[in-house]
């Protein structure tokens, strides 16, 4: 029975080793319309970003390798807000934090394996 538990834990660790961040992406067209899609970020891109512009009320979502959160005032674009996060699908439209399934599932797995 112990061999099965060890095997399951090792399998779980190996299956999560190739983790890639997933972000919502959305680049508005000339009318400001944007269709949100889910993108697996390329290597080196470790954060999801949401950029909101007050002029035209456009929102852009993307994977990025550098993200500096905050507000900037730009002459032609008004106030630009940049929000950064680093978990899967964390830049959702509803603003709800969506944690990693692995983080939520781990305590349950260990409870059943080692009780």
| Domain presence at residue 29 | yes
The CATH number assigned to the domain holding 48 equals: 2.10.60.10
Q: What does the DSSP 8-state code read for residue 99?
A: -
Q: What is the mean pLDDT of residues 82-89?
A: 94
Strands (E) across 9-67 are located at 22-25, 37-40, 47-53, 58-64
| Domain presence at residue 5 | no
* Interval 18-73: pLDDT, tens: 568 999 999 888 777 888 899 999 999 999 999 998 887 888 999 999 999 999 98
**Residue 82 belongs to domain spanning:** 19-113
Pairwise CA distance, residues 38 & 94, whole Å: 15
* Buried residues in 65-77 as b, exposed as e (16+ CB within 10 A): eebeeeeeeeeee
Q: What is the total count of domains within the chain?
A: 1
Q: What is the mean pLDDT of residues 66-88?
A: 90
Contacts of 33 (CB under 8 A, 6+ apart): none
* Interval 101-112: pLDDT, tens: 555 666 766 677
**pTM attached to this predicted model:** 0.62
Residue 11, token pair as written in the block? 């399998």
């Amino acid at each position: 029975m112990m061999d099965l538990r060890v095997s399951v834990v090792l399998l779980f660790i190996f299956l999560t080793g190739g983790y890639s961040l997933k972000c919502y992406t959305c680049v508005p067209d000339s009318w400001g319309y944007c269709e949100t899609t889910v993108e697996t970020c390329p290597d080196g891109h470790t954060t999801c970003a949401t950029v909101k512009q007050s002029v035209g009320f456009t929102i852009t979502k993307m994977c990025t390798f550098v993200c500096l959160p905050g507000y900037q005032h730009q002459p032609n674009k008004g106030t630009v807000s940049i929000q950064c996060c680093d978990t899967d699908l964390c830049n959702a439209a509803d603003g709800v934090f969506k944690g990693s399934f692995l983080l939520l599932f781990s305590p349950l797995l260990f409870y059943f394996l080692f009780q």
